[in-house]
């Protein structure tokens, strides 16, 4: 049976009101989770940026972009963990189309 591995792009926004240590810990937590279930191709920390609109009374967020490869069933677990993690304002995972 052929193992199905897809490429994904994930952007998540951390509440910028967290301390630098808390932000670093959250970034490391999700990098470790993705590495345990797939292969990270790149991580870009865009830093603090003003949000287009207020989310949970926050006006700034810390943006992180992760490109990775994994099995399709891992995405549901990743999104579940994002949803229950305190300090995550938004996240989205997109499957990349291979040409």
Give the pLDDT confidence score for residue 4 in this predicted structure: 86
Residue 99 pLDDT > 70, yes or no?
no
Q: How far apart are CA 54 and CA 35, in angstroms?
A: 32
CB atoms inside a 10 Å sphere around CB 75: 18
Quick one: 6-43+51-95 is in which CATH superfamily? Answer: Ribosomal protein S6/Translation elongation factor EF1B (3.30.70.60)
Segment 20-36, tens digit of pLDDT: 999 999 999 999 999 99
CB atoms inside a 10 Å sphere around CB 94: 11
Residue 1 pLDDT > 60, yes or no?
no
Segment 23-71, tens digit of pLDDT: 999 999 999 999 999 999 999 999 999 999 999 999 999 999 999 999 9
Domain ranges of the chain: 6-43+51-95
């Amino acid at each position: 049976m052929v193992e199905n591995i897809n490429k994904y792009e994930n952007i998540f926004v951390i509440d910028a009101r967290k301390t630098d240590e808390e932000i670093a810990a959250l970034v490391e937590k999700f990098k470790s989770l993705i590495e345990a279930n797939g292969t990270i191709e790149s991580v870009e920390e865009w830093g603090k940026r003003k949000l287009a609109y207020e989310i949970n009374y926050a006006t700034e967020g810390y943006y992180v972009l992760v490109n990775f490869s994994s099995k399709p069933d891992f995405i549901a677990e990743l999104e579940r963990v994002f949803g229950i993690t305190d300090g995550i304002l938004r996240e989205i995972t997109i499957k990349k189309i291979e040409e």
